[in-house]
Structure 1
Amino acid sequence: MKYEQSDALVDRLELLRAYGYGLCMGTADALPGVSGGTVALLLGFYGRLIAAVTALTPWRAAAVLRGYRPDRRTKAREALLEMDLGFLLPLGVGIATAVVIVADAVSSLAQSHPVAMFGFFTGLIAASAITLGRSLTIASPAHVAAAVTGAGLALLVAADVVSLPGSGPIVIVLAGAIAVSAMILPGISGSLILILLGQYVFLSSELSAFVHALGALPGGGSLAAVTAPGTTVVLFIVGGTTGLLTIARVVRIALDRRRELTLVFLVSLIAGSVPAPLTNIAETHAWTTETITLTAVWAAIGAIALFGLEYLVGGFEPE
């Protein structure tokens, strides 16, 4: 899939459209089981997104920074057009807006209604694995190995057999790198990766706390209340930027060279992640008949929601 960037300057309507795309993509990626990359495909800007992301290189960034010199302005303008910042920047702002809104809701619901929220997420993830798996064929021993490896790895992480140690700086950077890389891949949700790594609720709470602390500053809020969660947000952004410029490229190369095998692995990773949200329920609730019933009901609602979305858009296809 290829996108050729024209030399025309973006107008306000294009900026607003890109911001709207970002809102849709950010909302999808903040919900496990729904992929921002899939939304990009459905809305028709996935090719442009990949072209812009892969054009983000240190050399082009340096060319833009040297644009203050008159003799370098032509190259700076060319670099800006190649990186398509007129599209990426409003898209990024839209994604950030949606993620902040959803993170605030998640932080609140994780405390007040964990069974409902994580049960719903379980249904989203299970239905996502089913819808994406329909188009795949396990046609060789290599495919079987990829499926077993993906599902097995996810199950081990979900069962806490393989886990990241706590939530220190290195873990946050690593989580950001993997999750943001997943954001641009159709079929894989960044928040699903964070749930699998056990960082979803923590990072949502930190982002929500950071935004609320910033909003309280003009009214005499504490700077210390901004610094602690702000450090977490900055570390996540550093990891996300690193992942976007490295891991995402590696996965794209894998998709180009061994598409079917890579997709089998990725979809199997989703399938193996289905029990992951249940771990969060177990932290606050014993598995009584009532808890199991409520979880099953909310999982069914989540699955119905995703199947309904699939029906409305005409089906999901992994890229």
Structure 2
Amino acid sequence: MPAVRTLVDLLRGAIIGVVEVIPGVSGGTVALLIGVYERLLTSASALVRGVVRAVVDPLRGRGLAGARTHLAQVEWRLVLPIGIGMVLALVTAARVVEPLLDEHPVTSRALFAGLIVASLVVPARMLGARWRVRDVALAVAAAAAGFLLTGLPSATVEDPSPLAILGSAALAVCALVLPGVSGSFVLVTTGMYQPALAALNGGDVPTIALFMAGGVLGLAVFVHVLRWLLASHRRVTLAIMTGLMAGSLRALWPWQSDDRDLLAPSGDVGIVALWFVAGVVLVGAVLAVELAVVRRRARTASSADDAARRD
């Protein structure tokens, strides 16, 4: 069974990697959907702390004990296969997914919109059955912010500076960690999307290294902030996440111009609607399976507790 679990985690990472190539679709949203978001966030926090301690502590004469403690808290059996799957999928998707999106933009956006609409259930369910007035107000405000953000015109940068690459990559990784905000969309907005794809497809190692360094920088700063927010202000954070996911649907309206102006439905609307429904059904099926597994585990645990009491 460990081999099956590793294969599943590789697939999970691949899914996250693929959607990160698609502007408007958040890898953090997918991580929430497939049930690994908080575990990955906790492991990422421990990993960053461990690396920082490994660099700083020896300079202070404290050795590596602190670094080992943090690194031991990382779920390596989860993080490694998901990380490998993400990297492989990113490289592959840069060559395969992008041409498909260019050739079929309307139906692709409809499918992705259906996926996101159905996945709104995930953070909403994490928040709880009863939404308070404040939760709704925060979600609406976040949705409005997400709607405005995804409507910004894309920038174009022909020859980006190293500092611009570092900064945009740091922002993109922050978006990757935050459900509802697409990392690739941040790159589009800052004009770094095409340079990033060109670097991946062309094997431009120096540029890829700069993007990776910026990503590590962003992860080191933001992951701790988000983990603290989930621990200390869980309801507020989850309400805002839900709103951001809802607002980001603007980027996935099937009919829009190159400048992201929303257009009225046209062409074969029925086919587009079917692709949207297919996205909803796909996520709904995954959620139904997840719910069945959770209930089965709960029944098994309850039966085990009853047996233990009888013994």
CA distance in 1, matches of 2:121, 2:74: 35
Residues 78 and 209 (structure 1 numbering): CA distance in 2 closer, same or farther, change over 3 Å?
same
1-structure distance, mates of 2:93, 2:80: 20
Aligned residue number for residue 144 of structure 2: 152
Q: Indicate whether 1:257 and 2:232 are aligned.
A: yes
| Alpha-carbon separation, structure 1, partners of 2:129 and 2:175 | 19
The separation in 2 between residues aligned to 1:111 and 1:252, in whole angstroms, is 36
1:38 aligns with 2:12: no
The question of whether the paired residues in 2 share the 8 Å contact of 1:36 and 1:183 is answered with no
Structure 1 residue 13: deviation in Å?
8.4
3-state secondary structure, aligned to 1:282: coil
Whole-Å Cα distance in 2 between the matches of residues 288 and 272 of structure 1? Answer: 17
| Counterpart in the other structure of 2:188 | 199
1:25-174 correspondence to structure 2 within 5 Å? 25-27=16-18, 29-30=20-21, 32=25, 35-39=29-33, 41=35, 48-57=39-48, 60-61=51-52, 63=54, 80-83=71-74, 88-129=79-120, 132-133=123-124, 137-140=130-133, 142-160=134-152, 166-167=156-157, 168=160, 172-174=165-167
Matched residue, 1:220 = none
User: In structure 1, what is the equivalent of residue 276 of structure 2?
Assistant: 302
2:151 maps to 1:177? no
- TM-score by length of structure 1 reads 0.66
What's the counterpart of residue 312 of structure 1? 286
Shift of 1:95: 0.9
Structure 2 residues not aligned, in runs of 5+? 292-311
Measured in 2, the distance between the counterparts of 1:84 and 1:14 equals: 13
Shift of 1:64: 7.8
Q: How high is the TM-score relative to the length of structure 2?
A: 0.67
The amino acid of 1:309's aligned partner reads V
Q: How high is the sequence identity, in percent, across the aligned residues? A: 23
8 Å contact from structure 1 (residues 33, 128) kept in 2: no
Query: Aligned-pair distance for 1:19?
Result: 3.9
Q: What amino acid is the match of 1:106?
A: V
Q: The residue matched to 1:292 in structure 2 has which SS?
A: coil
Secondary structure at the aligned position of 1:283 is classed as coil
Secondary structure in 2 matching 1:55: helix
Distance (whole Å) between structure 1 residues aligned to residue 259 and residue 155 of structure 2: 21
The CA deviation at 1:153 is 1.0
Provide the aligned C-alpha RMSD in A: 4.3
- Superposed displacement of residue 94, structure 1: 1.6
List gaps (5 residues or longer) in structure 1.
Answer: 1-10, 215-225
Displacement of 1:59 after TM fit? 5.6
**Contact 2:13 2:83 survives alignment (8 Å):** yes
Tell me what 1:282 maps to: 257
Give the partner amino acid of 2:173.
V
Output the amino acid matched with 2:170. Answer: A
Number of equivalences: 279
- For the Cα contact (< 8 Å) 2:180–2:248, is it kept in 1? no
Contact 1:33 1:124 in 2 (8 A): no
Q: CA deviation at 1:145?
A: 3.4
Give the direction of change, closer, same or farther, for the CA distance of 1:84–1:240 in structure 2 (3 Å limit).
same
